[in-house]
Chain A
Amino acid sequence: KNQVEQSPQSLIILEGKNCTLQCNYTVSPFSNLRWYKQDTGRGPVSLTIMTFSENTKSNGRYTATLDADTKQSSLHITASQLSDSASYICVVNGGGSQGNLIFGKGTKLSVKP
């Protein structure tokens, strides 16, 4: 069964600290993996996309990794800011029709001053 599991479910860190969010998937076939950020009361917004051949990609203070062999991805946030408080959702695209998108339940990150 195609599944996307995220951990931890929630995380509290102090402003300025780093953190890493995990995403494990069993989706097959695999086309790409995307991390979304969802602020409270807003719709998710894409942060980065990882394709099969990419291992690491950075977007400002966000760095995503992908290990296609172990079917794991991580999102590392450096020097966290209060505005990073949000839910981070991992979405795996199983390819084929664009409808084949499998969502994780998200990790809720709270950054405290």
Chain B
Amino acid sequence: GAGVSQTPSNKVTEKGKYVELRCDPISGHTALYWYRQSLGQGPEFLIYFQGTGAADDSGLPNDRFFAVRPEGSVSTLKIQRTERGDSAVYLCASGKTSTNTGELFFGEGSRLTVL
């Protein structure tokens, strides 16, 4: 597809379970970001990839959160031992680095609900 694709669109899980959220960026975009957005708030930065490597993971709240991008395209955000406070919409965005204008192209998000 032409845009950023995120799956699943909705995920309901129980406290303590493990979840994976997937992001397919726009083809050719080397920059990939994960954000978390709670109701009524702006996106909160989690992690930024440049190619395969995490260039900035300072936004990950704790060691239960981990993200990978092994081939420089698809990325997976992994959350271990989920807690109710992890409930939010997780947004993925991709961007070109050649222009450095900072425009991000967002997916529709994955809504995570931890019961």
List residues of A whose CB falls within 8 A of some B CB.
31-32, 34, 41-46, 49, 87, 89, 91, 93, 95, 97-99, 101, 103-106, 108
Residues of chain B lying within 8 A (CB to CB) of residue A108? 40
In the assembly, what is the distance between CA of A104 and CA of B41, in Å? 9
Chain B residues 67-115 with CB under 8 Å of chain A are 91, 93, 95, 97, 100-104, 106-109
Taking A89-B43, A104-B42, A105-B41 as contacts, is the C-beta distance between A43 and B101 under 8 angstroms? no
Residues of chain A lying within 8 A (CB to CB) of residue B35? 103
In the assembly, what is the distance between CA of A95 and CA of B100, in Å? 8
Contact in complex: B93, A43 (CB < 8 Å) = yes
In the assembly, what is the distance between CA of A48 and CA of B108, in Å? 20
Contact in complex: B101, A32 (CB < 8 Å) = yes
- Is B12 located at the chain interface by the 8 A CB criterion? no
Q: Which of A43, A93, A98 is in CB contact (< 8 Å) with B107?
A: A43
Contact in complex: A97, B56 (CB < 8 Å) = yes
Closest to B3 in A: A43
Residues of chain B lying within 8 A (CB to CB) of residue A105? 41-42
List residues of B whose CB falls within 8 A of some A CB.
4, 31, 33, 35, 40-45, 48, 50, 55-56, 91, 93, 95, 97, 100-104, 106-109
Q: Which of A32, A43, A46 is in CB contact (< 8 Å) with B91?
A: A43
Q: Which of B45, B50, B97, B109 is in CB contact (< 8 Å) with A101?
A: B45
Contact in complex: A99, B48 (CB < 8 Å) = yes
Closest to B55 in A: A99
Q: Which of B4, B41, B100 is in CB contact (< 8 Å) with A98?
A: B100
- What are 26 A-B pairs with beta-carbon distances under 8 A? A31-B100, A31-B102, A34-B103, A41-B109, A42-B108, A42-B109, A43-B4, A43-B93, A44-B106, A46-B103, A91-B102, A91-B104, A93-B100, A97-B48, A97-B50, A97-B55, A97-B56, A98-B48, A98-B95, A99-B31, A99-B48, A99-B55, A101-B102, A103-B35, A103-B43, A106-B42
